[in-house]
């Protein structure tokens, strides 16, 4: 099964993934790394990245290695693969299909690229970010982090903000949260960085309650989760403002309920001030660490044909 969009998961698949992530976390903490490394010995995963990445590529590759997979990687595929010679994505994927991988993890600069890859691939394709489309595996560990901290994924008030126009993580996470009952989402951004009409349409169709505002302090004062994102400056046109208009600092954090958690997919630039890191509600580095366990669960289930 290809992993293309956060919308594709059923609640039972999500529960299965989160249980498996718990299992891998426990096994690693108990020092059973050697046993885990037997699980997929003799298999290989390919990671092909056409855009920069720190966490996504390194956590996928680490997850694969901890499960015993060998890893074959292209980290700068736009320049170092035959894409620079004019080869189509489809031909690259057809070629990789001949090498016997258990999964191909792809990040690409074009929205829809993972879907195009999947259309010509017998090997499971995992979307590690496609332009300003989606980032479904990020949404998986975002949801896992919420569940671990708040004990539920339903009946939540979630504030998501920053650059909702070019960022892809909110586009995926909002669709995942829409699967659970009684969630209320508030999108906070300047009007010029608001969430795409395609995702808003998808959320309305599945019945998610959401609103859009620029009133940050009022929104966070009732939030269970505040999920912030950076301005995607590399995608901005020359005529677009280079300021997302908001910053999460201690004055904003003080307006949040005591039980609320602060999340960010990272990299953080300056949209969350570093003094917020000391607040016990700041969970973004814990969130990043969870990426390893959830990606182990995902690779394990994809390679075992359980997803």
* Residues labelled as active-site residues: 55-56, 85, 107, 135
Contacting range for ligand NCD; rule: CB under 6 A; set: 143-151, 191-199, 209-217, 259-267: 259-267
Residues composing the chain:
307
Q: Which of 20, 55, 66, 148 binds ligand NCD (CB under 6 A)?
A: 55
Q: Tell the smallest beta-carbon distance from residue 247 to ligand NCD (Å).
A: 16
Binding mask 120-139 for ligand NCD (x = CB under 6 A): ---------x-----x--x-
Residue with Cβ nearer ligand NCD (36 or 58): 58
The tokens of 239 are what?
A: 């005529």
How far apart, in whole angstroms, are the C-alpha atoms of residue 242 and residue 233? 7
Backbone angles phi, psi at 282, to 5 degrees: -75, 115
Q: Which residues pair with 158 in a beta bridge?
A: 185, 225
Does 266 sit near ligand NCD (CB under 6 A)? yes
Q: How far is CA 177 from CA 160, 248, 273, in A?
A: 12, 22, 26
Q: Tell the smallest beta-carbon distance from residue 135 to ligand NCD (Å).
A: 5
- Specify whether the CB–CB gap between 146 and 261 falls below 8 A: yes
Contacting range for ligand NCD; rule: CB under 6 A; set: 92-100, 212-220, 243-251, 265-273: 265-273
Pairing of strands 125-130, 157-161: unpaired
Binding mask 150-189 for ligand NCD (x = CB under 6 A): -----------------xxx--------------------
How far apart, in whole angstroms, are the C-alpha atoms of residue 62 and residue 58? 6
Q: Tell the smallest beta-carbon distance from residue 223 to ligand NCD (Å).
A: 20
> Which candidate, 215, 242, 231, 263, places its Cα nearest to that of 165?
231
Q: Which of 5, 47, 56, 172 binds ligand NCD (CB under 6 A)?
A: 56
Torsion angle in degrees (nearest 10) through CA of 56, 209, 7, 283: 20
Q: Tell the smallest beta-carbon distance from residue 88 to ligand NCD (Å).
A: 23
Q: Which residues pair with 103 in a beta bridge?
A: 45
Contacting range for ligand NCD; rule: CB under 6 A; set: 7-15, 91-99, 179-187, 260-268: 260-268
Size of the site for ligand NCD (CB under 6 A): 13
How far apart, in whole angstroms, are the C-alpha atoms of residue 216 and residue 132? 24
| Interface contacts to ligand NCD, rule CB under 6 A | 55-56, 129, 135, 138, 167-169, 229-230, 265-267
């Amino acid at each position: 099964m290809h992993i293309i969009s956060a919308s594709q998961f059923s609640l039972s698949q999500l529960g299965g993934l989160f249980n498996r992530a718990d299992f891998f976390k426990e096994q690693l903490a108990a020092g059973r790394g050697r046993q885990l490394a037997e699980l997929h010995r003799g298999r290989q995963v390919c990671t092909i990245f056409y855009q920069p990445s720190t966490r996504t590529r390194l956590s996928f590759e680490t997850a694969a290695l901890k499960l015993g997979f060998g890893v074959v990687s292209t980290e700068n595929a736009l320049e170092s693969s035959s894409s620079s010679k004019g080869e189509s994505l489809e031909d690259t994927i057809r070629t990789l299909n001949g090498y016997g991988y258990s999964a191909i993890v792809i990040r690409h600069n074009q929205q829809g690229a993972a879907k195009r890859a999947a259309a010509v691939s017998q090997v499971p394709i995992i979307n590690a970010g496609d332009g300003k489309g989606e980032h479904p595996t990020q949404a998986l560990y975002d949801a896992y982090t919420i569940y671990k901290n708040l004990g539920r994924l339903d009946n939540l008030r979630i504030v998501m903000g920053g650059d909702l126009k070019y960022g892809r993580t909110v586009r995926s996470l909002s669709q995942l949260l829409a699967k659970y009952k009684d969630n209320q989402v508030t999108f906070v951004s300047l009007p010029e960085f608001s969430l795409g009409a395609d995702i808003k349409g998808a959320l309305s169709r599945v019945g998610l309650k959401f609103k859009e505002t620029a009133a940050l302090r009022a929104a966070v004062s009732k939030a269970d989760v505040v999920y912030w994102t950076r301005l995607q400056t590399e995608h901005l046109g020359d005529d677009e403002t280079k300021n997302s208009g908001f910053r999460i600092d201690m004055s904003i954090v003080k307006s949040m309920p005591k039980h609320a958690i602060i999340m960010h997919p990272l990299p953080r630039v300056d949209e969350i001030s570093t003094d917020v890191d000391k607040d016990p509600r700041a969970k973004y580095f814990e969130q990043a660490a969870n990426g390893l366990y959830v990606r182990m669960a995902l690779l394990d289930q994809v390679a075992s044909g359980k997803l």
